[in-house]
Chain A
Amino acid sequence: MEKIDEVKALLERYFNAETTLKEEQILRDYFRTDVKDEELLAYKPLFNCFSDEADKIKELEHIDTSIQSTSLKRSFHFRWISVAAAAALALFTYLIMPERGDSLKLIIDGVNVYNKELAMSKADGQMSNINSMMGKFKNSTAQLESMGKVGDALSPLRSMGKAMTQND
């Protein structure tokens, strides 16, 4: 009963804007409990509104923190996957294209010959030979193409011949 009187007195001071922060907290705490006094019950939504809002803010802050921790975990996860992928790529690049160190290596009869010009000349000789053979292949292809063109040019004559035979 004393509590109700005290709350009523505080309410009066509250509406006169005379309450301290501590007194306002007492009022909020009181209205969060099970209020039975009908006169005071009318003020419950007013004070609960603030406390409910505070609860919701706390709840939202909790959700936000959990989302942040999940996304942090996910980004951490993806970071490791990308690091692993990059490492795998580097490993395979190394395996496929092993660095042999020497810019040029020439071995004749099992003996290393340190003669860059000779090595280059031999390599060039081989490539020139291949290019020359390929040139012949290209010429043959060109000749085939020409033959095809001649065939195309002769096709109207063939049609004419056919028509004339039919007329006979």
Chain B
Amino acid sequence: MKKLLILMFVAVIMPLTALGQTKQINEILDKYEKRKGVESIIISPSLLQIASTTDVDASTKDLLSKITEMRILNIKSGAVESGIPIRLSIRKELDGLIGTDMFKRIVMVKDGDEILEMYITNTTQGVLLFLTTNPGEFSVISIFGNIDKTVVNAAMSGAIKVK
């Protein structure tokens, strides 16, 4: 009985931790998505499922089934609010989150003026986060779902496609 209670407690607490990470990312994205000079794209699981079934590659199909949602936020360099570039404001908020123990950086690639960073949450039910910076814009690409080793490997080998 005691074991069962502990098991139930863990089962309740673990999703809450993951919930906190996804919620915080979503809150930041929600905050900035309707600003001027910002583009927001939300791709729900239903579309990703369709995308996965139209793909012939079985491994990609399996991979996309693990993803529950994809959110993209493009912030133009010229987008300014109250004299502060929005890209700097959102970056500051994201840094406050990815700098914690909940996230770890997997990759950072610098190619000319462009920088790509890839972060994942410590729990599998979490977020795979890409941050791209170039002189023209700053982008946040977040992939929510069961972010396990296969999803990370696929992302690193460029297997994640939208269509």
Binding site for B on A (CB under 8 A): 81, 84-85, 88-89, 92, 95-97, 99-110, 119-120, 122-124, 126-127, 129-138
Contacts and interface: CB of A to CB of B under 8 A. Distances in A.
A103 B163 CA distance: 14
Interface residues of B, number: 51
Contacts, number: 126
Choose among A105, A110, A123, A129 the residue with the greatest number of B CB atoms under 10 Å from its CB.
A123
B12 A88 contact: yes
Nearest to A84: B8
B111 interface: yes
Given A126-B74, A130-B132, A120 B156 contact: no
Contacts of A126: 41, 72, 74, 132, 139, 141
A30 B139 CA distance: 99
Given A107-B34, A133-B114, A127 B160 contact: yes
Contact of A122 (B74, B109, B116): B74
A93 B160 CA distance: 24
Contacts of B132: 126, 129-130, 133
B33 to A, nearest CB: 5
A131 B45 CA distance: 21
Contacts of A135: 158
B147 interface: no
B156 A124 contact: no
B42 A100 contact: yes
Contact of A127 (B50, B125, B162): B162
B68 interface: yes
